Amino acid sequence: MSGGADVHSYNQRARALWEQGQHQEAVQLWEHAYSLDPDSVEILVSLAWALGQQGRGVEALPLAERAVELAPDEWHARHVLGQIHHAAGRHQEAIEAYLQAREIGFDDPVLNCDLGDALYSAGRFEEAASAYADVISARPADAYAHLWRGWVLHQLGDYEQGDAEFETALELDSEWPEALYAVGQMCCAAGDFPRAVRLLREAIERYPEEEEEARAAACCELGNAHRGSGELQHAARLYRDALSLDPAHATARFNLGLVCGDLGDFETAVAEFDILLQLEPSDLGALLERANAHLSLENHDGAIQDYESALEIWPDLSDAHAGLGLAYYAMGLHDLSAERYAQAAELAPDEAWPRYSLALALEAAGRHAEADAAFDEAFERGAGDAEFCAALARALAAQGRNVQKAIEAAERACELTPSKGDVHDALAMALYSAGSYQAALAAAREAVGIDPDAAEYRYDLGLIEEALGDVASARASLAKAVELAPDFEEARDALRRLQGGP
d(CA 41, CA 465): 94
Question: How would residue 178 be classed by pLDDT, with cut points 50, 70 and 90?
Answer: very high
- CA–CA separation, 497 vs 500, rounded Å? 5
For 412-502, give the CATH class: mainly alpha
Residue-wise over 65-103: b if at least 16 C-beta within 10 A, else e? bbbbeebeebbbbbbbbbbbbbbbebbebbbbbbbbbbe
Cβ atoms within 10 Å, residue 383: 17
Percent of the chain with pLDDT over 70: 98
Domain ranges of the chain: 1-106, 412-502
Q: How confident is the model at residue 421 (pLDDT cuts 50, 70, 90)?
A: very high
The answer to whether 253 touches 237, Cβ cutoff 8 Å, is: no
pLDDT band at 1 (very low <50, low <70, confident <90, very high): very low
Contact 207, 247 (CB under 8 A): no
Residue 413 to residue 423: CA distance in whole angstroms: 6
Model pLDDT, residue 4: 55
Q: Half-sphere exposure of residue 401, counting CA atoms within 13 Å on the CB side?
A: 8
**Which residue did the predictor score with more confidence, 4 or 8?**
8
pLDDT of 154 above 50: yes
Q: Comparing C-alpha atoms, which of 251, 220, 249, 254 is closest to residue 237?
A: 220
Q: Do domains 1-106 and 412-502 have the same CATH topology?
A: yes
Count helices and strands in the chain by DSSP H and E runs: 29, 0
| 1-106 classified as CATH 3.90.1150.10 | no
- Tell me how far apart the alpha carbons of residues 236 and 445 are, in angstroms, rounded to a whole number: 38
- The answer, as to whether pTM is greater than 0.85, is no
> Smallest Cα–Cα separation from 342: which of 312, 314, 371?
371
For 189, residues 6+ apart whose C-beta sits below 8 A from its C-beta are none
Q: Which of 252, 326, 237 is nearest to 288 (CA)?
A: 326
Backbone angles phi, psi at 325, to 5 degrees: -60, -40
Among 5-19, 313-327, 398-412, 457-471, which is the least confidently predicted range? 5-19
Contact 236, 262 (CB under 8 A): no
Q: pLDDT-based confidence at 106, cuts 50/70/90?
A: low
Question: What mean pLDDT value characterizes the chain?
Answer: 95
Amino acid in position 483: E
Q: What is the Cα–Cα distance from 393 to 465, expressed in whole angstroms? A: 21
pLDDT of residue 501: 55
